[in-house]
Amino acid sequence: MTLVKVIEVIASSEISIDDAVRQAVKEASKTIRNIDSVYVKDIKAHVKDGNVTTFGCVCKISFRLD
């Protein structure tokens, strides 16, 4: 039987939403093994003077337990 754990992380990027998701997985993989998937729960963007300055996302990362 395989057990899967899900954690929730928040990530941001000045480049894009895609980059924010990739940063979330990259940082999580530094301390977590066996990452299988990432579910983007929420997306947001910060705006200053009418321009988007930062993209952010809330991600659920799933990984198999040893």
**How high is the pLDDT of residue 52?**
96
Percent of the chain predicted with pLDDT > 70: 100
pLDDT digits (tens, 9 = 90+) for 40-61: 999 999 999 999 999 999 999 9
pTM beyond cutoff 0.75: yes
- The domain made up of 4-64 is a member of CATH 3.30.1660.10: yes
> If you average pLDDT over every residue of the chain, what do you get?
97
Instruction: Report the pLDDT value the prediction gives residue 23, as an integer from 0 to 100.
Output: 96
**Can you give the residue ranges of every domain in the chain?**
4-64
Reduce the DSSP state of residue 21 to 3 states and report it: helix
Query: Distance of CA 53 to CAs 10, 22, 25, 38, 49, Å?
Result: 17, 18, 21, 24, 9
